[in-house]
Amino acid sequence: MKSLASLSLWRIIILILPLVSLGQTFEYGWPDNYDKPPQCVDIPVDLRLCQGVGYHQMLLPNLLEHESMAEVKQQAGSWVPLLHKNCDPGTQLLLCSLFAPVCMERPIYPCRRLCENVRDGCSPIMAAFGFPWPHILTCDKFPQDDMCINTPNDTSTSEPNGHPPVCPPCDNEMKMDVILDHMCASEFAIKTKIQEVKRENMDRKVTLQKKKRTIKMGTLKKKDLKKLTLYLKNGADCPCTQLDNTRNTYLIMGRKVDKQYLLTGIHKWDKSNREFKKTMKKLKSHKCPAYENVFK
Amino acid sequence: MSRKTRRWIFHIFLCLGIIYLKIGGFSSVVALGASIICNKIPGLAPRQRTICQSRPDAIIVIGEGAQMGINECQFQFKNGRWNCSALGERTVFGKELKVGSKEAAFTYAIIAAGVAHAITAACTQGTLSGCGCDKEKQGFYNQEEGWKWGGCSADIRYGLSFSKVFLDAREIKQNARTLMNLHNNEVGRKILEKNMRLECKCHGVSGSCTTKTCWTTLPKFRQLGYILKERYNHAVHVEPVRASRNKRPAFLKVKKPYSYRKPMDTDLVYIEKSPNYCEADPVTGSMGTQGRICNKTAQHTNGCDLMCCGRGYNTHQYSRVWQCNCKFLWCCYVKCNTCSERTEVYTCK
């Protein structure tokens, strides 16, 4: 495959003598894995991260060295909630150029500018959920020339001046897909009421009422559940109508980062809402992407 | 002469046999063909014949591993007078170098490493029967560093032992050259074993390292080439030592007056000084440098003065054409321009 790529790029017209070999080291090449050469496969329907990305076939293993489709799906699953945030128009293109790279003779990486735009637009939202910008998406390692993937209509000139303050855990759409994706990305989910909301440095501290019902236990223990206190990360001043109303019952999702429990999603427990009711019903049979099986 | 002819025929038949096995593919024809081919190869050592008959799939992998070793050898020495080629017919195991030189030492080591590497890789991929992943590690948790064994850890011990059994079986005679070959084979395998590395995957949420799986994996073969090239540059000149009553050499020692030090187990060893490789010589197996491409402006080994041994060089002009200014266009194809320039190439007279 690599020699084929070399042949397609070089044509040597020799008048007298054949040349043994001209050294041409590409800056970007296949991840040199000795197991198997990359193959073109259809993007599966249940790889939801990359539906509608603009092409239909991908390379396996991909550019993140995921070797099986099960591994690709498992790792891509945790990125789907980020797509719902619409933090940058190039988010899906950046992620899918690595998770489900286009089938070409040589790998095509995302452009550094595309990566930097998505990083600058999305890392504040990821930080709200306790996720740093990951090492696998470090922008410095991506190319800056023309042999890379950029947004089709490069809108580098239209810079949005001034973001309205946003509470990522609070502004989720009341939609089944969105709630289920966030449920899978969260470690636990409970039904409860809010007792108190207080500012604490840059965060907002949410104290819950004693009466709780567990929707998803996850890694949470019963002992911890009793005195559970959640933090809205970097959310001291952002608008969150749910936290302003302590009379309602809420579906609250979260995860543990170091010793803090972070709020990752909050929805009003609204039985009169058809979408919410449908989601709760679906939740009983819904299966999150399995983590353990892929790496056994 | 009859011994040389027999050895030559052995290499030819082995090469043809491997080609035949590849063409035949995996079927009963392979088993039948393997049996016929293995029995008809003259000069094959008894143990090698047994391996050949019982493991036709392994013979294919052995051939590929040896070829990988030869390719790496040619890469490492591409700028030298000796570029890992020898007079005579080229076979998958390479022509045996007549002189017990540093170059022979490198060749034997890189082929032994190549065979072990290829066997281990085939086990990992599951293309070889009777071996697979290193099961001892599966599922265990590394407490101190916080990761878990998983994936498919390469079973290097199987590859090493297979390479040893098959390649060392060629060295039947008890003489200095045999001892040298056995030692250098082992050097290649030891370098491979020492350079096995740990590869890890972070597969927590968003690719974080909260969940991490690690496995042992083979080093890149180029890395082995560089290491062995360094050993070649510091190869140790040795001589045989005979036991008191036996006339046959028992072991090798460093060739120095009053020294009885043995070479280290990762030292490449040689028993004869290298020829200068300037002229073609059937006796030493030297190909000579006539017709070799050299660099007019370079001062190193591929410079024309050094490469051509002072005989001078010829100049040839040609037009080089290549694709340039490539762009990826959405979605999805690559568009390039075509560039060309007149350039010169120099070859030794």
Dist. CA A172–CA A166, nearest whole Å: 11
Dist. CA A172–CA A181, nearest whole Å: 11
Q: Where does CATH 1.10.2000.10 sit in chain A?
A: 39-141
Reported confidence tier of residue B1, pLDDT bands at 50, 70, 90:
very low
Residue B208, pLDDT > 80, answer no
Given CB atoms, is A27 within the 8 Å cutoff of chain B?
no
Q: How confident is the model over A44-48, as a mean pLDDT?
A: 86
Residue A44, token pair as written in the block: 């599966």
Reported confidence tier of residue B15, pLDDT bands at 50, 70, 90:
low
Q: Which residues of A touch B208 (CB under 8 A)?
A: 131, 134
Highest mean pLDDT among A6-10, B1-5, B67-71, B223-227: B223-227
Q: Are B133 and B309 in contact (CB under 8 A)?
A: no
What number of residues does chain B have? 349
Dist. CA B133–CA B123, nearest whole Å: 7
| Residue at which a domain ends, from B250, B268, B288 | B288
CATH architecture of residue range(s) A168-283 = Beta Barrel (2.40)
Inside any domain, residue B147: yes
**Strand ranges inside chain A, DSSP E:** 10-13, 39-42, 57-60, 188-200, 203-216, 229-232, 249-257, 260-268
B225 and B334 together in one domain: no
B216 and B337 together in one domain: no
Q: Which residues of B touch A20 (CB under 8 A)?
A: 78, 293
Reported confidence tier of residue A165, pLDDT bands at 50, 70, 90:
low
Tracing tokens 């063909």 back to the chain, one arrives at B33
B307 and B214 together in one domain: no
Among the ranges given (A65-69, B34-38, B248-252, B254-258), the one the predictor scored with the smallest mean pLDDT: B34-38
pLDDT of residue B246: 63
Residue A55, pLDDT > 70, answer yes
| Residue at which a domain ends, from B270, B288, B306 | B288
pLDDT of residue B221: 96
| Residue at which a domain ends, from B288, B303, B320 | B288
B54 and B148 together in one domain: yes
- Is the model more confident about B35 or about B292? B292
List the domain range (segments joined by +) for residue B83: 31-288
Q: How confident is the model over B85-95, as a mean pLDDT?
A: 54
pLDDT of residue A6: 37
Inside any domain, residue B25: no
Beta-carbon separation of B124 and A137 below 8 A: no
Domain of B325: which CATH number? 3.30.2460.20
- Is the model more confident about A296 or about A115? A115
Q: Where does CATH 2.40.50.120 sit in chain A?
A: 168-283
Inside any domain, residue B22: no
Highest mean pLDDT among A240-254, A260-274, B109-123, B188-202: B109-123
B233 and B265 together in one domain: yes
Reported confidence tier of residue A290, pLDDT bands at 50, 70, 90:
low
Residue B159, pLDDT > 90, answer yes
> What residues contact residue B124 under an 8 Å CB cut-off, 6+ apart?
A35, B132, B133, B152, B154, B155, B218
Average pLDDT, chain A: 76
B178 and B311 together in one domain: no
pLDDT of residue B191: 94
Q: How many helices (H) and strands (E) does chain A have?
A: 9, 8
Residue B311, token pair as written in the block: 């005989």
- Residues of B with a Cβ under 8 Å from any A Cβ are 78, 121, 124-125, 139, 148, 150-151, 201-203, 205-209, 211, 213, 218, 220, 293, 316-323, 325-328, 330-332, 334, 336, 338, 340, 345, 347
How many domains does chain B fold into? 2
B284 and B320 together in one domain: no
* SS3 of residue A193 by DSSP: strand
Reported confidence tier of residue B120, pLDDT bands at 50, 70, 90:
very high
Residue A286, pLDDT > 80, answer no
In chain A, what percentage of residues exceed pLDDT 90?
A: 13
Q: Are A18 and A65 in contact (CB under 8 A)?
A: no
B165 and B243 together in one domain: yes
**Cα angle: B167, vertex B170, B176; to 5 degrees:** 110
Q: What is the pLDDT of residues A198-248, one digit of tens each?
A: 878 778 889 888 778 788 877 777 777 877 888 887 788 788 888 887 878
Dist. CA A216–CA A190, nearest whole Å: 7
Q: How confident is the model over B108-117, as a mean pLDDT?
A: 94
Q: Closest Cα to residue A12, out of B346, B345, B318?
A: B318
C-alpha dihedral, B61 to B63 to B68 to B74, nearest 10°: 180
B206 and B106 together in one domain: yes
Dist. CA B157–CA B9, nearest whole Å: 32
pLDDT of residue A110: 95
Domain spanning A39-141: CATH superfamily: Frizzled cysteine-rich domain (1.10.2000.10)
pLDDT of residue B347: 93
